Structure 1
Protein backbone atom coordinates (compact mmCIF):
# COMPACT_ATOMS: atom_id res chain seq x y z
CA UNK A 1 0.00 0.00 0.00
CA UNK A 2 2.99 2.32 0.44
CA UNK A 3 3.72 1.96 -3.25
CA UNK A 4 0.14 3.02 -4.04
CA UNK A 5 0.57 6.09 -1.84
CA UNK A 6 3.74 7.06 -3.74
CA UNK A 7 2.00 6.61 -7.10
CA UNK A 8 -0.99 8.61 -5.87
CA UNK A 9 1.27 11.50 -4.84
CA UNK A 10 3.07 11.40 -8.18
CA UNK A 11 -0.01 11.37 -10.48
CA UNK A 12 -2.42 14.30 -10.26
CA UNK A 13 -5.44 12.45 -11.63
CA UNK A 14 -5.11 9.78 -8.92
CA UNK A 15 -5.68 12.53 -6.36
CA UNK A 16 -9.09 13.34 -7.86
CA UNK A 17 -10.39 10.05 -6.47
CA UNK A 18 -10.25 9.07 -2.80
CA UNK A 19 -7.58 6.74 -1.46
CA UNK A 20 -10.06 3.95 -0.78
CA UNK A 21 -11.30 4.13 -4.37
CA UNK A 22 -7.70 3.73 -5.56
CA UNK A 23 -7.32 0.75 -3.21
CA UNK A 24 -10.47 -0.79 -4.68
CA UNK A 25 -9.12 -0.33 -8.22
CA UNK A 26 -5.85 -2.01 -7.22
CA UNK A 27 -7.81 -4.87 -5.63
CA UNK A 28 -9.82 -5.29 -8.86
CA UNK A 29 -6.62 -5.43 -10.91
CA UNK A 30 -5.10 -7.91 -8.46
CA UNK A 31 -8.18 -10.13 -8.64
CA UNK A 32 -8.12 -10.01 -12.46
CA UNK A 33 -4.48 -11.11 -12.54
CA UNK A 34 -5.07 -13.83 -9.93
CA UNK A 35 -7.83 -15.26 -12.13
CA UNK A 36 -5.60 -14.94 -15.21
CA UNK A 37 -2.74 -16.88 -13.63
CA UNK A 38 -5.17 -19.47 -12.30
CA UNK A 39 -6.71 -20.11 -15.75
CA UNK A 40 -3.93 -19.13 -18.20
CA UNK A 41 -3.44 -22.73 -19.33
CA UNK A 42 -7.01 -22.70 -20.66
CA UNK A 43 -6.14 -19.92 -23.12
CA UNK A 44 -7.39 -16.99 -21.06
CA UNK A 45 -5.83 -13.69 -22.09
CA UNK A 46 -4.41 -11.22 -19.55
CA UNK A 47 -6.69 -8.40 -18.39
CA UNK A 48 -6.90 -5.23 -20.45
CA UNK A 49 -6.46 -1.80 -18.93
CA UNK A 50 -8.89 1.01 -19.60
CA UNK A 51 -7.85 4.58 -20.11
CA UNK A 52 -8.63 6.70 -17.10
CA UNK A 53 -11.22 8.64 -19.11
CA UNK A 54 -13.09 5.45 -20.03
CA UNK A 55 -13.14 3.99 -16.52
CA UNK A 56 -16.80 3.31 -15.77
CA UNK A 57 -17.02 3.01 -11.98
CA UNK A 58 -15.36 3.59 -8.66
CA UNK A 59 -16.22 2.40 -5.18
CA UNK A 60 -16.00 4.28 -1.91
CA UNK A 61 -15.86 1.93 1.06
CA UNK A 62 -15.79 3.84 4.35
CA UNK A 63 -15.15 7.51 3.74
CA UNK A 64 -15.11 10.10 0.98
CA UNK A 65 -18.87 10.50 0.71
CA UNK A 66 -21.67 12.09 2.68
CA UNK A 67 -25.42 11.92 2.10
CA UNK A 68 -26.94 15.37 2.46
CA UNK A 69 -30.60 16.30 2.95
CA UNK A 70 -32.98 14.82 0.42
CA UNK A 71 -31.38 13.46 -2.69
CA UNK A 72 -27.87 14.90 -2.60
CA UNK A 73 -24.57 13.09 -2.26
CA UNK A 74 -21.30 14.88 -1.53
CA UNK A 75 -18.17 13.21 -2.87
CA UNK A 76 -15.06 15.22 -2.12
CA UNK A 77 -15.93 18.81 -3.01
CA UNK A 78 -18.62 17.86 -5.53
CA UNK A 79 -22.33 17.65 -4.72
CA UNK A 80 -24.31 15.23 -6.89
CA UNK A 81 -28.08 15.08 -7.11
CA UNK A 82 -29.65 11.68 -7.59
CA UNK A 83 -33.10 10.16 -7.79
CA UNK A 84 -33.75 8.45 -4.49
CA UNK A 85 -35.84 5.38 -5.31
CA UNK A 86 -36.11 4.22 -1.68
CA UNK A 87 -34.92 5.06 1.79
CA UNK A 88 -31.50 3.75 2.76
CA UNK A 89 -31.94 1.25 5.58
CA UNK A 90 -29.11 -0.18 7.66
CA UNK A 91 -25.46 0.75 7.87
CA UNK A 92 -23.85 1.76 4.57
CA UNK A 93 -21.00 -0.56 3.55
CA UNK A 94 -20.04 0.78 0.11
CA UNK A 95 -21.11 3.46 -2.35
CA UNK A 96 -20.38 2.81 -6.02
CA UNK A 97 -20.70 5.42 -8.75
CA UNK A 98 -21.15 3.93 -12.24
CA UNK A 99 -21.29 5.63 -15.61
CA UNK A 100 -23.02 4.09 -18.63
CA UNK A 101 -22.09 4.61 -22.28
CA UNK A 102 -24.29 7.73 -22.47
CA UNK A 103 -22.40 9.37 -19.62
CA UNK A 104 -25.24 9.06 -17.10
CA UNK A 105 -24.16 8.45 -13.51
CA UNK A 106 -25.78 5.91 -11.21
CA UNK A 107 -25.33 5.54 -7.44
CA UNK A 108 -25.32 2.04 -5.92
CA UNK A 109 -25.49 1.83 -2.14
CA UNK A 110 -24.74 -1.46 -0.38
CA UNK A 111 -25.94 -1.80 3.21
CA UNK A 112 -26.01 -4.53 5.84
CA UNK A 113 -29.81 -4.48 6.02
CA UNK A 114 -31.48 -7.90 5.73
CA UNK A 115 -35.11 -7.86 4.68
CA UNK A 116 -37.21 -10.37 6.58
CA UNK A 117 -39.50 -12.12 4.13
CA UNK A 118 -42.38 -13.94 5.77
CA UNK A 119 -43.93 -16.72 3.76
CA UNK A 120 -47.34 -17.97 4.82
CA UNK A 121 -47.12 -21.70 5.39
CA UNK A 122 -50.41 -23.58 4.97
CA UNK A 123 -49.03 -27.08 5.26
CA UNK A 124 -50.35 -27.97 1.80
CA UNK A 125 -48.04 -28.64 -1.11
CA UNK A 126 -48.61 -28.30 -4.82
CA UNK A 127 -46.64 -29.33 -7.87
CA UNK A 128 -46.83 -27.93 -11.38
CA UNK A 129 -45.45 -29.31 -14.63
CA UNK A 130 -45.54 -26.96 -17.60
CA UNK A 131 -43.85 -29.31 -20.05
CA UNK A 132 -45.44 -31.39 -22.80
CA UNK A 133 -47.13 -34.53 -21.58
CA UNK A 134 -46.57 -37.50 -23.85
CA UNK A 135 -48.46 -40.64 -23.00
CA UNK A 136 -48.17 -43.72 -25.09
CA UNK A 137 -51.59 -45.29 -24.76
CA UNK A 138 -51.56 -46.51 -28.33
CA UNK A 139 -49.95 -45.48 -31.61
CA UNK A 140 -53.14 -44.00 -33.09
CA UNK A 141 -53.67 -41.54 -30.23
CA UNK A 142 -49.96 -40.55 -30.25
CA UNK A 143 -50.12 -39.95 -33.99
CA UNK A 144 -53.24 -37.76 -33.69
CA UNK A 145 -51.58 -35.67 -30.97
CA UNK A 146 -48.44 -35.05 -33.08
CA UNK A 147 -50.58 -34.08 -36.13
CA UNK A 148 -52.53 -31.63 -33.95
CA UNK A 149 -49.31 -30.06 -32.61
CA UNK A 150 -47.87 -29.77 -36.13
CA UNK A 151 -51.01 -28.00 -37.36
CA UNK A 152 -50.98 -25.61 -34.39
CA UNK A 153 -47.30 -24.78 -34.96
CA UNK A 154 -47.99 -24.14 -38.65
CA UNK A 155 -50.90 -21.79 -37.81
CA UNK A 156 -48.77 -19.96 -35.26
CA UNK A 157 -45.92 -19.53 -37.75
CA UNK A 158 -48.37 -18.31 -40.42
CA UNK A 159 -49.86 -15.74 -38.02
CA UNK A 160 -46.41 -14.49 -36.98
CA UNK A 161 -45.36 -14.04 -40.61
CA UNK A 162 -48.65 -12.28 -41.40
CA UNK A 163 -48.20 -9.85 -38.47
CA UNK A 164 -44.59 -9.07 -39.37
Structure 2
Protein backbone atom coordinates (compact mmCIF):
# COMPACT_ATOMS: atom_id res chain seq x y z
CA UNK A 1 0.00 0.00 0.00
CA UNK A 2 1.38 3.41 -1.03
CA UNK A 3 1.12 6.01 1.74
CA UNK A 4 2.52 9.46 2.45
CA UNK A 5 5.02 9.44 5.27
CA UNK A 6 6.82 12.31 6.99
CA UNK A 7 10.44 12.12 8.20
CA UNK A 8 11.37 14.87 10.62
CA UNK A 9 14.99 15.85 11.34
CA UNK A 10 16.79 18.65 13.07
CA UNK A 11 18.99 20.63 10.70
CA UNK A 12 22.08 22.74 11.47
CA UNK A 13 22.25 25.50 8.85
CA UNK A 14 25.28 27.78 8.66
CA UNK A 15 24.87 31.60 9.05
CA UNK A 16 24.33 32.14 5.31
CA UNK A 17 21.69 29.41 5.18
CA UNK A 18 19.97 30.76 8.32
CA UNK A 19 19.71 34.18 6.69
CA UNK A 20 18.23 32.67 3.53
CA UNK A 21 15.77 30.52 5.50
CA UNK A 22 14.58 33.60 7.40
CA UNK A 23 14.22 35.54 4.14
CA UNK A 24 12.23 32.70 2.54
CA UNK A 25 9.91 32.48 5.55
CA UNK A 26 9.34 36.25 5.35
CA UNK A 27 8.74 36.22 1.59
CA UNK A 28 6.32 33.28 1.83
CA UNK A 29 4.41 35.14 4.52
CA UNK A 30 4.39 38.32 2.38
CA UNK A 31 2.99 36.49 -0.69
CA UNK A 32 0.34 34.74 1.42
CA UNK A 33 -0.79 38.02 3.00
CA UNK A 34 -0.68 39.88 -0.34
CA UNK A 35 -3.08 37.52 -2.11
CA UNK A 36 -5.26 37.19 0.98
CA UNK A 37 -5.57 40.99 1.05
CA UNK A 38 -6.53 41.08 -2.65
CA UNK A 39 -9.12 38.36 -2.09
CA UNK A 40 -10.67 40.22 0.84
CA UNK A 41 -10.90 43.38 -1.29
CA UNK A 42 -12.70 41.39 -3.98
CA UNK A 43 -15.07 39.84 -1.45
CA UNK A 44 -15.86 43.29 -0.03
CA UNK A 45 -16.63 44.58 -3.54
CA UNK A 46 -19.00 41.73 -4.35
CA UNK A 47 -20.68 42.10 -0.97
CA UNK A 48 -21.48 45.72 -1.85
CA UNK A 49 -22.65 44.68 -5.34
CA UNK A 50 -24.94 42.02 -3.90
CA UNK A 51 -26.53 44.48 -1.46
CA UNK A 52 -27.12 46.99 -4.27
CA UNK A 53 -28.61 44.22 -6.45
CA UNK A 54 -31.08 43.31 -3.73
CA UNK A 55 -32.16 46.96 -3.62
CA UNK A 56 -32.78 46.90 -7.36
CA UNK A 57 -29.96 49.29 -8.24
CA UNK A 58 -27.84 46.87 -10.31
CA UNK A 59 -28.47 43.70 -12.35
CA UNK A 60 -27.57 40.31 -10.83
CA UNK A 61 -23.89 39.31 -11.01
CA UNK A 62 -22.05 36.01 -10.97
CA UNK A 63 -20.89 35.21 -7.43
CA UNK A 64 -18.21 32.87 -8.77
CA UNK A 65 -16.03 35.95 -9.16
CA UNK A 66 -15.66 35.87 -5.39
CA UNK A 67 -13.92 32.48 -5.35
CA UNK A 68 -10.14 32.35 -4.95
CA UNK A 69 -8.48 31.31 -8.22
CA UNK A 70 -5.35 29.30 -7.43
CA UNK A 71 -3.93 29.04 -10.95
CA UNK A 72 -4.28 32.74 -11.81
CA UNK A 73 -2.69 33.64 -8.46
CA UNK A 74 0.31 31.33 -9.03
CA UNK A 75 0.86 32.97 -12.44
CA UNK A 76 0.63 36.38 -10.79
CA UNK A 77 3.58 35.52 -8.50
CA UNK A 78 5.92 36.06 -11.48
CA UNK A 79 4.50 39.54 -12.06
CA UNK A 80 4.78 40.25 -8.34
CA UNK A 81 8.54 39.65 -8.52
CA UNK A 82 8.87 42.52 -10.99
CA UNK A 83 7.41 44.93 -8.42
CA UNK A 84 9.15 43.43 -5.37
CA UNK A 85 12.74 42.53 -6.30
CA UNK A 86 13.46 40.89 -2.92
CA UNK A 87 11.19 37.99 -3.90
CA UNK A 88 13.77 36.94 -6.52
CA UNK A 89 16.33 36.10 -3.81
CA UNK A 90 14.40 33.11 -2.44
CA UNK A 91 13.12 29.76 -3.71
CA UNK A 92 10.35 30.47 -6.24
CA UNK A 93 8.60 27.14 -5.56
CA UNK A 94 8.12 28.08 -1.91
CA UNK A 95 6.26 31.23 -3.01
CA UNK A 96 3.98 29.20 -5.29
CA UNK A 97 3.39 26.73 -2.47
CA UNK A 98 2.36 29.61 -0.21
CA UNK A 99 -0.36 30.53 -2.73
CA UNK A 100 -1.45 26.88 -2.93
CA UNK A 101 -1.78 26.76 0.86
CA UNK A 102 -4.01 29.86 0.76
CA UNK A 103 -6.11 28.28 -2.00
CA UNK A 104 -6.51 25.04 -0.03
CA UNK A 105 -7.54 27.04 3.03
CA UNK A 106 -10.17 28.86 0.98
CA UNK A 107 -11.45 25.57 -0.47
CA UNK A 108 -12.05 24.26 3.05
CA UNK A 109 -13.66 27.57 3.97
CA UNK A 110 -16.06 27.38 1.00
CA UNK A 111 -17.00 23.85 2.09
CA UNK A 112 -17.56 25.16 5.66
CA UNK A 113 -14.83 22.94 7.04
CA UNK A 114 -12.97 25.78 8.76
CA UNK A 115 -13.01 29.53 9.32
CA UNK A 116 -11.85 32.07 6.77
CA UNK A 117 -8.03 32.33 6.32
CA UNK A 118 -6.27 34.90 8.49
CA UNK A 119 -3.22 37.04 7.86
CA UNK A 120 0.10 35.55 8.98
CA UNK A 121 2.09 37.50 11.55
CA UNK A 122 5.77 37.82 12.44
CA UNK A 123 4.68 37.24 16.03
CA UNK A 124 3.55 33.67 15.32
CA UNK A 125 5.43 31.16 17.46
CA UNK A 126 6.36 28.79 14.64
CA UNK A 127 7.42 29.90 11.16
CA UNK A 128 7.58 27.58 8.17
CA UNK A 129 7.81 27.38 4.42
CA UNK A 130 7.31 24.44 2.07
CA UNK A 131 9.07 23.61 -1.18
CA UNK A 132 8.31 20.83 -3.66
CA UNK A 133 10.52 18.21 -5.25
CA UNK A 134 11.46 19.20 -8.81
CA UNK A 135 14.32 17.73 -10.84
CA UNK A 136 16.14 16.35 -7.80
CA UNK A 137 16.29 19.67 -5.92
CA UNK A 138 15.56 17.81 -2.65
CA UNK A 139 17.80 14.86 -1.80
CA UNK A 140 19.55 13.13 1.10
CA UNK A 141 23.34 12.70 0.93
CA UNK A 142 24.68 10.84 3.96
CA UNK A 143 24.87 13.55 6.69
CA UNK A 144 23.49 16.32 4.49
CA UNK A 145 20.13 17.26 2.99
CA UNK A 146 20.08 19.08 -0.32
CA UNK A 147 17.44 21.85 -0.31
CA UNK A 148 16.56 24.45 -3.00
CA UNK A 149 18.71 27.61 -2.79
CA UNK A 150 20.26 26.41 0.50
CA UNK A 151 22.43 23.69 -0.96
CA UNK A 152 23.71 20.99 1.39
CA UNK A 153 22.50 21.43 4.97
CA UNK A 154 23.90 19.29 7.80
CA UNK A 155 21.25 17.32 9.71
CA UNK A 156 20.90 14.80 12.54
CA UNK A 157 20.19 11.58 10.68
CA UNK A 158 18.17 9.36 13.01
CA UNK A 159 16.78 7.03 10.32
CA UNK A 160 16.78 6.41 6.59
CA UNK A 161 14.40 8.35 4.35
CA UNK A 162 12.30 5.82 2.44
CA UNK A 163 10.33 6.29 -0.78
CA UNK A 164 9.91 9.01 -3.36
CA UNK A 165 10.36 12.53 -1.96
CA UNK A 166 7.37 14.82 -2.59
CA UNK A 167 8.13 17.99 -0.63
CA UNK A 168 10.02 19.42 2.33
CA UNK A 169 8.90 21.83 5.03
CA UNK A 170 11.51 23.90 6.84
CA UNK A 171 10.45 25.02 10.31
CA UNK A 172 11.95 27.59 12.68
CA UNK A 173 10.82 27.07 16.27
CA UNK A 174 10.71 29.69 19.07
CA UNK A 175 13.69 27.94 20.65
CA UNK A 176 15.82 29.05 17.68
CA UNK A 177 16.17 25.48 16.39
CA UNK A 178 15.54 24.53 12.78
CA UNK A 179 13.83 21.36 11.54
CA UNK A 180 12.93 19.83 8.20
CA UNK A 181 10.01 17.48 7.55
CA UNK A 182 10.43 15.46 4.35
CA UNK A 183 7.20 14.00 2.96
CA UNK A 184 7.64 10.87 0.85
CA UNK A 185 5.44 8.37 -0.93
CA UNK A 186 6.45 4.91 0.23
CA UNK A 187 5.21 1.34 0.34
CA UNK A 188 3.91 0.10 3.72
CA UNK A 189 3.21 -3.57 4.38
CA UNK A 190 0.24 -4.58 6.60
CA UNK A 191 1.09 -5.99 10.03
CA UNK A 192 0.27 -9.66 10.75
CA UNK A 193 -3.23 -10.26 12.15
CA UNK A 194 -3.52 -10.94 15.88
CA UNK A 195 -7.23 -11.91 15.92
CA UNK A 196 -7.57 -9.60 18.91
CA UNK A 197 -10.02 -6.74 19.54
CA UNK A 198 -10.01 -4.12 22.26
CA UNK A 199 -11.63 -0.92 23.47
CA UNK A 200 -9.65 2.12 24.60
CA UNK A 201 -11.06 4.23 27.41
CA UNK A 202 -9.17 7.54 27.64
CA UNK A 203 -8.85 9.20 31.02
CA UNK A 204 -6.88 11.61 33.19
CA UNK A 205 -5.88 9.36 36.10
CA UNK A 206 -4.52 6.80 33.62
CA UNK A 207 -3.97 7.90 30.03
CA UNK A 208 -5.66 4.84 28.53
CA UNK A 209 -7.20 1.61 29.83
CA UNK A 210 -7.82 -1.30 27.44
CA UNK A 211 -10.56 -3.90 27.62
CA UNK A 212 -8.13 -6.53 28.93
CA UNK A 213 -7.12 -4.25 31.82
CA UNK A 214 -3.85 -3.00 30.31
CA UNK A 215 -3.08 0.49 31.59
CA UNK A 216 -0.96 3.24 30.05
CA UNK A 217 0.25 5.67 32.68
CA UNK A 218 -0.54 9.37 32.38
CA UNK A 219 2.93 10.89 32.71
CA UNK A 220 1.68 14.49 33.05
CA UNK A 221 4.62 16.01 31.20
CA UNK A 222 3.48 19.60 31.71
CA UNK A 223 3.04 19.04 35.45
CA UNK A 224 6.49 17.47 35.60
CA UNK A 225 8.20 20.61 34.31
CA UNK A 226 5.66 23.18 35.50
CA UNK A 227 7.76 24.54 38.38
CA UNK A 228 10.82 24.91 36.16
CA UNK A 229 8.67 26.65 33.55
CA UNK A 230 7.12 29.02 36.11
CA UNK A 231 10.54 30.10 37.41
CA UNK A 232 11.84 30.66 33.88
CA UNK A 233 8.77 32.75 32.99
CA UNK A 234 9.17 34.80 36.17
CA UNK A 235 12.75 35.62 35.20
CA UNK A 236 11.55 36.52 31.69
CA UNK A 237 8.94 38.92 33.09
CA UNK A 238 11.70 40.87 34.89
CA UNK A 239 13.79 41.33 31.75
CA UNK A 240 13.52 44.47 29.59
CA UNK A 241 11.35 43.54 26.60
CA UNK A 242 13.43 43.23 23.41
CA UNK A 243 16.81 43.32 25.16
CA UNK A 244 19.55 40.75 24.65
CA UNK A 245 18.96 39.20 28.09
CA UNK A 246 15.23 39.10 27.42
CA UNK A 247 15.80 37.19 24.19
CA UNK A 248 18.15 34.70 25.90
CA UNK A 249 15.55 34.02 28.59
CA UNK A 250 12.77 33.76 25.97
CA UNK A 251 14.72 30.97 24.30
CA UNK A 252 15.08 29.16 27.65
CA UNK A 253 11.29 29.29 28.16
CA UNK A 254 10.70 28.11 24.58
CA UNK A 255 13.04 25.14 25.05
CA UNK A 256 11.15 23.99 28.15
CA UNK A 257 7.92 24.07 26.13
CA UNK A 258 9.67 22.19 23.31
CA UNK A 259 10.90 19.53 25.74
CA UNK A 260 7.33 18.99 27.04
CA UNK A 261 6.06 18.71 23.46
CA UNK A 262 8.78 16.24 22.44
CA UNK A 263 8.18 13.99 25.46
CA UNK A 264 4.43 13.95 24.90
CA UNK A 265 4.71 13.25 21.16
CA UNK A 266 7.18 10.41 21.78
CA UNK A 267 4.82 8.83 24.32
CA UNK A 268 1.80 9.13 22.00
CA UNK A 269 3.70 7.50 19.10
CA UNK A 270 4.91 4.59 21.24
CA UNK A 271 1.48 4.01 22.83
CA UNK A 272 -0.48 4.19 19.57
CA UNK A 273 2.01 1.88 17.80
CA UNK A 274 1.83 -0.65 20.63
CA UNK A 275 -1.98 -0.77 20.49
CA UNK A 276 -2.02 -1.06 16.69
CA UNK A 277 0.55 -3.90 16.68
CA UNK A 278 -1.34 -6.00 19.23
CA UNK A 279 -4.96 -5.55 18.10
CA UNK A 280 -6.88 -5.79 14.82
CA UNK A 281 -10.01 -3.87 15.90
CA UNK A 282 -9.85 -0.90 18.27
CA UNK A 283 -12.97 0.81 19.63
CA UNK A 284 -12.55 4.37 20.91
CA UNK A 285 -15.01 6.99 22.09
CA UNK A 286 -15.60 10.04 19.88
CA UNK A 287 -14.86 12.65 22.56
CA UNK A 288 -15.64 16.32 21.93
CA UNK A 289 -12.37 17.65 23.34
CA UNK A 290 -13.23 21.29 22.60
CA UNK A 291 -16.33 21.04 24.80
CA UNK A 292 -14.43 19.27 27.58
CA UNK A 293 -11.82 22.04 27.54
CA UNK A 294 -14.49 24.54 28.64
CA UNK A 295 -14.27 23.14 32.16
CA UNK A 296 -11.58 25.32 33.78
CA UNK A 297 -10.83 22.72 36.47
CA UNK A 298 -9.77 20.03 34.00
CA UNK A 299 -8.80 22.06 30.90
CA UNK A 300 -5.05 22.02 31.60
CA UNK A 301 -5.01 18.29 32.38
CA UNK A 302 -6.97 17.50 29.19
CA UNK A 303 -4.64 19.67 27.09
CA UNK A 304 -1.64 17.84 28.59
CA UNK A 305 -2.85 14.36 27.54
CA UNK A 306 -3.57 15.33 23.87
CA UNK A 307 -6.43 12.91 23.24
CA UNK A 308 -7.11 14.36 19.77
CA UNK A 309 -3.52 13.90 18.60
CA UNK A 310 -3.57 10.34 19.95
CA UNK A 311 -6.73 9.50 17.98
CA UNK A 312 -5.25 10.96 14.81
CA UNK A 313 -2.16 8.74 15.23
CA UNK A 314 -4.30 5.65 15.85
CA UNK A 315 -6.35 6.29 12.71
CA UNK A 316 -3.54 6.79 10.21
CA UNK A 317 -1.47 3.92 11.62
CA UNK A 318 -4.50 1.62 11.43
CA UNK A 319 -4.97 2.63 7.79
CA UNK A 320 -1.29 1.97 7.03
CA UNK A 321 -1.08 -1.42 8.68
CA UNK A 322 -4.46 -2.95 7.79
CA UNK A 323 -6.15 -2.54 11.17
CA UNK A 324 -9.53 -0.95 12.05
CA UNK A 325 -10.24 1.93 14.43
CA UNK A 326 -13.96 2.39 15.13
CA UNK A 327 -15.15 5.63 16.70
CA UNK A 328 -18.13 5.05 19.00
CA UNK A 329 -20.68 7.85 19.38
CA UNK A 330 -20.12 10.27 22.26
CA UNK A 331 -23.69 9.51 23.42
CA UNK A 332 -22.85 5.83 23.97
CA UNK A 333 -22.86 5.25 27.80
CA UNK A 334 -19.66 3.18 27.91
CA UNK A 335 -19.08 3.67 31.65
CA UNK A 336 -22.69 3.14 32.74
CA UNK A 337 -23.44 -0.15 30.94
CA UNK A 338 -22.69 -3.53 32.49
CA UNK A 339 -20.43 -5.34 30.02
CA UNK A 340 -21.91 -8.69 31.17
CA UNK A 341 -25.69 -8.14 31.01
CA UNK A 342 -26.16 -4.67 29.51
CA UNK A 343 -27.84 -3.10 32.57
CA UNK A 344 -27.47 0.69 32.66
CA UNK A 345 -26.43 2.09 36.03
CA UNK A 346 -27.00 5.87 36.02
CA UNK A 347 -25.16 6.25 39.34
CA UNK A 348 -21.89 5.77 37.43
CA UNK A 349 -22.33 9.27 35.98
CA UNK A 350 -20.57 10.37 39.17
CA UNK A 351 -16.84 10.39 38.17
CA UNK A 352 -15.90 9.64 41.78
CA UNK A 353 -17.49 6.17 41.57
CA UNK A 354 -14.55 4.01 40.42
CA UNK A 355 -15.99 0.53 41.10
CA UNK A 356 -19.52 -0.87 41.20
CA UNK A 357 -21.43 -4.15 41.31
CA UNK A 358 -24.23 -4.89 38.85
CA UNK A 359 -27.55 -6.55 39.67
CA UNK A 360 -26.33 -9.61 37.79
CA UNK A 361 -23.49 -9.93 40.32
CA UNK A 362 -20.68 -8.78 38.04
CA UNK A 363 -18.19 -6.47 39.75
CA UNK A 364 -16.75 -3.73 37.53
CA UNK A 365 -13.77 -1.43 37.61
CA UNK A 366 -15.09 1.71 35.90
CA UNK A 367 -12.43 2.23 33.21
CA UNK A 368 -11.91 -1.41 32.28
CA UNK A 369 -15.68 -1.89 32.00
CA UNK A 370 -15.83 1.12 29.66
CA UNK A 371 -13.07 -0.43 27.54
CA UNK A 372 -15.03 -3.69 27.29
CA UNK A 373 -18.18 -1.84 26.24
CA UNK A 374 -16.29 0.14 23.61
CA UNK A 375 -14.80 -3.08 22.27
CA UNK A 376 -18.22 -4.77 22.01
CA UNK A 377 -19.80 -1.72 20.39
CA UNK A 378 -16.94 -1.45 17.85
CA UNK A 379 -17.41 -5.11 16.84
CA UNK A 380 -21.19 -4.57 16.59
CA UNK A 381 -20.74 -1.50 14.37
CA UNK A 382 -18.30 -3.36 12.10
CA UNK A 383 -20.74 -6.29 11.82
CA UNK A 384 -23.63 -3.96 10.99
CA UNK A 385 -21.52 -2.22 8.36
CA UNK A 386 -20.50 -5.55 6.79
CA UNK A 387 -24.02 -6.99 6.65
CA UNK A 388 -25.96 -3.78 6.01
CA UNK A 389 -28.35 -4.54 8.87
CA UNK A 390 -29.73 -1.43 10.59
TM-score when normalising by structure 1? 0.63
- Residues 118 and 13 of structure 1: is their aligned pair in 2 closer, same or farther, counting only changes over 3 Å? same
Work out the CA distance in 2 between the residues paired with 1:100 and 1:134.
51
1:67 matched to 2:290: no
Residues 77 and 49 (structure 1), Cα distance of their counterparts in 2 relative to 1, 3 Å cut = closer
Task: Mark the runs of 5 or more structure 2 residues left unpaired by the alignment.
Answer: 1-73, 199-210, 214-334, 336-354, 367-390
Paired position in structure 2 for 1:158: none
Out of 72, 77, 93, the residue aligned to residue 166 of structure 2 is: 93
**1:135 maps to what in 2?**
358
Question: How far, CA to CA, are the matches of 1:36 and 1:87 in structure 2?
Answer: 37
Cα distance in 2 between the residues matched to 1:81 and 1:19: 22
What is the root-mean-square deviation in Å for CA atoms of aligned residues?
3.7
How many Å apart are 1:5 and its aligned residue?
0.6
Q: CA deviation at 1:80?
A: 1.5
Deviations, residues 87-106 of structure 1 (Å, cap 9, x unaligned): 11111111111111122111
Q: Deviation at 1:83?
A: 0.8
1:57, distance to aligned residue in structure 2 (A): 1.2
- Give the drift of 1:120: 3.9
Q: 1:113 to 1:133 in 2, by over 3 A?
A: farther
Contact between 1:36 and 1:47, CA under 8 Å: does it hold in 2? no
Aligned residue pairs total: 138
Question: For the residues of structure 2 that align with 1:24 and 1:55, how far apart are their CA atoms?
Answer: 17
Q: Secondary structure at the match of 2:81?
A: helix
* CA distance in 1: counterparts of 2:123 and 2:133, whole angstroms: 23
- Structure 1 unaligned runs (5+)? 150-164
Q: Tell me what 1:58 maps to.
A: 129
Q: Aligned partners of 1:106 and 1:47: how far apart in 2?
A: 24
Larger Rg: 1
Quote how far apart the aligned CAs of 1:111 are: 1.0
Q: CA contact under 8 A between 1:97 and 1:106: conserved in structure 2?
A: yes
Preserved CA contact (<8 Å) 2:139 2:146: yes
Matched with 2:118 is: 47
| Separation of aligned partners in 2, 1:66 and 1:99 | 19
Deviations 1:103-133 (A, max 9, x none): 2111111111122133144xx5565365656
1:1-164 equivalences in 2 (<5 Å)? 1-39=74-112, 44=115, 46-51=117-122, 56-63=127-134, 65-67=137-139, 69-75=141-147, 76-121=149-194, 125=196, 128=211, 134-137=357-360
Query: In the alignment, is the contact (CA less than 8 A) between 1:98 and 1:106 conserved in 2?
Result: yes
In structure 2, the CA distance between the partners of 1:125 and 1:15, relative to structure 1 (3 Å rule), is: same
Larger RCO: 1 or 2 (CA < 8 Å, sep 6+): 2
Task: Report the alpha carbon displacement of residue 33 of structure 1 after superposing the two structures with TM.
Answer: 3.3
Residues of 2 paired with 1:99 and 1:118: CA distance? 35
C-alpha separation in 2, matches of 1:53 and 1:125:
45
Q: Match of 1:73, SS?
A: strand
In the TM superposition, residue 55 of structure 1 has moved relative to its aligned partner by 7.2
